[in-house]
Structure 1
Amino acid sequence: MKLEIKNINEDGLFYGYASTFNEIDLKGDIILPNAFKAAIRDFSDIDMLFQHDFGIPLGKWIEIEENNVGLHVTGKIFKNLYMGEEIYNMIREKKICGLSIGFKPIMYETDGNVRRLTKIDLREISIVRFPANRSALINKVES
């Protein structure tokens, strides 16, 4: 997926996939469609973090929805916060473009070392350098 930089008035917005379905990640997890359904009904308590650091939220999620590819997100980085401007600029320069989810598994099946997740409690979504799900990427930034 290619990162697109787009010039519009709303500063700090970006779009991407926090997770994709039916794809094994580096930790041996496969997330199945509808696994996020209950968790994203009210996503106001799902934090935006950097590298899964719970210190200070980096921004907020404007939209989180499941589609046929995975968990599509629209986020806004608080550029006036510590590290906000720096991280946003690194995304724009394509130095950081990964997304990663922090979650608690609710329902799953195991097959050897692979875990098929059918229901999860989504706790946070982080901007990361190296996502466990290699397709979980920011694919558009507005500047």
Structure 2
Amino acid sequence: MTVKTKTVDIEVKADAPDGEGQFTGYASVFGNKDSYGDVVLPGAFAESLKTFGPNGSGIPVYWRHRMDDPYMLIGQTIEAKEDERGLFVHVQLDTSINNGAQTYKLLKAGLVKQMSFAYDVVEGALVESENDGYYYELRKLTIHEVSVVPVGANQETEILAVKSAALAVAAGVKAGQIVPTEAREDLEGAITALKGALATTTDQEKAAGTPDAKDEEPPAAKSEEQTTVPAARALAEATIQGLL
């Protein structure tokens, strides 16, 4: 199973009154369809938060999901809880190390305003609504860490457009509906396009000297924030698996 990451474009506040190096923000928000076509539901983090310390303390905080680098472990949560808006976190950065101090400086200056979290899906389902069309409900998640990130996840718009168009067809197939020939051809074309995108990103990785995403440890430590090529590769792989 590949660890996934998700970014929230929401301002964090580095003016927490309790001490130097502290900030508050939301690592996830509930109920909105994000660029990946996912919706996180209230309660998704409830069980996972119980595996950490009192009040959700002790969740590792990284810079850009760099779990492969101990120097990028820049702090931990003092508190993490679900409220009506999403997953609220109160973080203590380690300002005794350069990376922690610099991150706090950027937060205070308003130059960094986003958070992200790494997770595994425990329970989810493809659903449809009148307003949002097809999307994937994330109902129960295992959270591994939260990160401060400078830029949100690359949306890989071409791949996502193919994914969005194909999801409705795939949903009909899985529901046992008779799918018209034209629709089946659309689905086959979507999978072909995604495989082409995957081949392209693999070639780009080789040209750039980027290691194969499957050989990384942890698998998704770099997949979303460090470079758009592994992001496209991971997204194409996940989408193909979801459609087949």
Q: Give the TM-score, by structure 2 length.
A: 0.50
Report deviation, 1:82.
3.3
The structure richer in strand per residue is 1
**Partner Cα separation in structure 1 for residue 78 and residue 118 of structure 2:** 18
Equivalent residue in structure 2 for 1:18, among 15, 20, 27: 27
Unaligned stretches of 5+ in structure 1? 133-143
Indicate the SS of the match to 2:47. Answer: coil
For 1:34 and 1:92, locate their aligned partners in 2 and report how far apart those are by CA, in whole Å: 31
Residue correspondences, number: 132
- 1:1-143 matches, within 5 Å, as 6=15, 8=17, 10-44=19-53, 46-54=59-67, 55-56=69-70, 57-111=73-127, 114-132=135-153
Amino acid at match of 1:14: F
Structure with higher RCO (Cα < 8 A, 6+ apart): 1
Q: Which of the two has higher C-alpha Rg? A: 2
What SS does structure 1 have at the residue aligned with 2:98?
coil
- Unaligned stretches of 5+ in structure 2? 1-9, 129-133, 154-244
Deviates more, 1:98-107 or 1:80-89: 80-89
Amino acid at match of 2:118: G
Shift of 1:5: 5.5
The one-letter code sitting in structure 1 at the alignment partner of 2:74 is L
Greater displacement, 24-33 / 42-51 = 42-51
| RMSD (Å) for aligned C-alpha atoms | 2.1
Decide whether the 8 Å contact of 2:22 with 2:90 is kept in 1.
Answer: yes
> How has the CA–CA distance of structure 1 residues 115 and 39 changed in structure 2, closer, same or farther, with 3 Å as cutoff?
same
Pick which of 94-103 and 78-87 moved more: 78-87
User: Relative to total residues, which structure has the larger helix share, 1 or 2?
Assistant: 2
Amino acid at match of 1:50: W
Q: Which moved more, 1:109-118 or 1:20-29?
A: 109-118
Read off the aligned partner of 1:42 and give its amino acid letter. T
Q: Say whether the 8 Å CA contact 2:48–2:142 is kept in structure 1.
A: yes
Checking the alignment, whether the CA contact within 8 Å between 1:43 and 1:64 is kept in structure 2 is no
TM-score, with structure 1 as normaliser: 0.83
Q: 1:82 & 1:73 partners in 2: Cα distance?
A: 22
| Counterpart contact for 2:14–2:24, Cα < 8 Å | no
Alignment deviations for residues 113-138 of structure 1 (CA, whole Å, 9 cap, x no partner)? 62110000001111012235xxxxxx
Distance in 2, Cα, partners of 1:63 & 1:5: 15
Q: 1:8 to 1:117 in 2, by over 3 A?
A: closer
Aligned to 1:139: none
Q: Separation in 2 of the partners of 1:9 and 1:69?
A: 23
Percentage identity across aligned positions?
Answer: 25
SS at match of 1:75: strand
Do the aligned residues in 1 keep the contact of 2:107 with 2:113 (CA within 8 Å)? yes
